[in-house]
Structures are given as C-alpha cells and as structure tokens.
C-alpha cells in the first residue's frame, strides 16, 4: 500500500513536470546570437571586433532571464612608430564616436528586449527579461556622460504586448526600466 502511494506521487510529479513547458538552452542560444548580430549591425556598424565576447544568457527559474554583453563603442587608434601616443584630438574623436553610438545602443537594446520575448516560449509571461550591456573605456579617456553599463528590464508579458501592438510603442519607455551605471 505504501509503495502504491509513493509510486502514485512520483508519477504525479513526473506528469506535472512533463506537462510544463520549460525554457530550453537552444532558445536562449538563439536569442544570444540574435543580440550579437543586432549589436554588431545596428550599433557597431559591422565592426565585430568591438563586440567583446559573445552575449550570454542565464535563466533563473521563477525570476526570469538575464542577458549580458560587453562592447567597445569606439576603437582607440593603435600606437605605432608613426603614431607614438594618443593626442587630445584622438581622445576627443573616441569620445565623440561613443557619444554618437550611445543612442543607437539604447534603441537596439529596447528592440532586443521586445524581440526576445517572443522567442522565449518556455518562459512564463510573469517573469522578467533583462539585458545588461557593459561599455568598456580606457583609463585615460574622458568617459564623462558615457555610462559604464546600461541595464534594461521588463516583464515578458509587457514586451509581448508591445510586440503584438496591444500596447503602443510610445508607452514602451514606461514599461522598460532603464538603469545606467
């Protein structure tokens, strides 16, 4: 009798777990690759070397998914016998390029969040989707006004509502929490 109860309990747990759709690593990897492509194409203007490492996602059951990436928004000219040191003008050009690319990064990040919500089928709609992008800087550069990291977060359901047109894109900024460090 005791065995039958235990067997029924194990079967009930197994059937309950089998009926639940789970987020797969393959779905996460697809989104990671999509993020890398968008960063390279829309922000870094095709310069893959400014994407430092590949985007990585971590799923925390009951909470949501966190993606992280690291980019260099502007290359620093190389030092050579013909260019032995960075001048003030060189540093100014680097900063100008970073400032120029910053709005494109923020726009791409928001769109990446919206697009990712539809690909994460196994993730419950009440969980969060988070994207954090670290922006590298050289110790000698003037990085005033350029955040070292941007983190955007929104509920999956809200992102799906924007994507499906149930919520106007104009309200997107109220749904996505943005923190800059």
- pLDDT tens for the chain, residues 1 to 181: 455 444 344 434 443 444 455 888 998 999 999 999 999 998 988 887 799 989 999 999 999 999 999 999 998 887 778 778 888 999 999 999 999 999 999 999 999 999 999 889 889 999 999 999 999 999 999 999 999 999 999 999 999 999 999 999 889 889 999 999 9
pTM for the whole structure: 0.84
Q: Which domain holds residue 70?
A: 22-180
Q: In this structure, is residue 104 part of a structural domain?
A: yes
* Residue 175: closest CA among 120, 161, 60: 161
Q: In this structure, is residue 70 part of a structural domain?
A: yes
Q: In this structure, is residue 17 part of a structural domain?
A: no
Dihedral sign for Cα 172, 105, 132, 95, please.
Answer: negative
Please state the domain count of the chain. 1
Q: In this structure, is residue 131 part of a structural domain?
A: yes
Q: In which residue are the tokens 């893959």 written?
A: 48
Q: In this structure, is residue 78 part of a structural domain?
A: yes
17 φ/ψ angles, rounded to the nearest 5 degrees:
-70, -35
Q: In this structure, is residue 7 part of a structural domain?
A: no
Half-sphere exposure in the Cβ direction for 29 (13 Å, CA): 3
Q: In this structure, is residue 6 part of a structural domain?
A: no
Query: Could you give the CA distance from residue 9 to residue 81 in angstroms, rounded to a whole number?
Result: 75
Q: In this structure, is residue 99 part of a structural domain?
A: yes
Answer for the pair 85, 79: CB distance below 8 angstroms, yes or no: yes
């Amino acid at each position: 009798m005791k065995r039958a109860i235990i067997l029924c309990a194990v079967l009930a747990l197994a059937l309950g777990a089998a009926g639940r759709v789970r987020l797969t690593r393959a779905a996460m990897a697809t989104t990671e690759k999509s993020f890398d492509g968008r960063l390279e194409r829309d922000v870094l203007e095709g310069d893959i070397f400014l994407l430092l490492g590949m985007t990585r996602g971590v799923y925390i059951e009951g909470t949501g998914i966190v993606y992280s990436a690291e980019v260099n928004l502007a290359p620093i000219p190389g030092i050579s016998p013909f260019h032995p040191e960075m001048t003030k003008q060189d540093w100014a050009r680097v900063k100008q390029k970073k400032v120029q690319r910053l709005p494109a990064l923020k726009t791409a990040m928001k769109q990446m969040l919206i697009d990712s919500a539809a690909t994460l089928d196994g993730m419950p709609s009440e969980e969060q989707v988070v994207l954090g992008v670290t922006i590298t800087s050289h110790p000698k550069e003037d990085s005033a006004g350029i955040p070292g990291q941007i983190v955007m977060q929104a509920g999956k359901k809200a992102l799906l509502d924007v994507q499906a047109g149930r919520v106007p894109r104009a309200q997107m900024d109220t749904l996505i929490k943005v923190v800059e460090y």
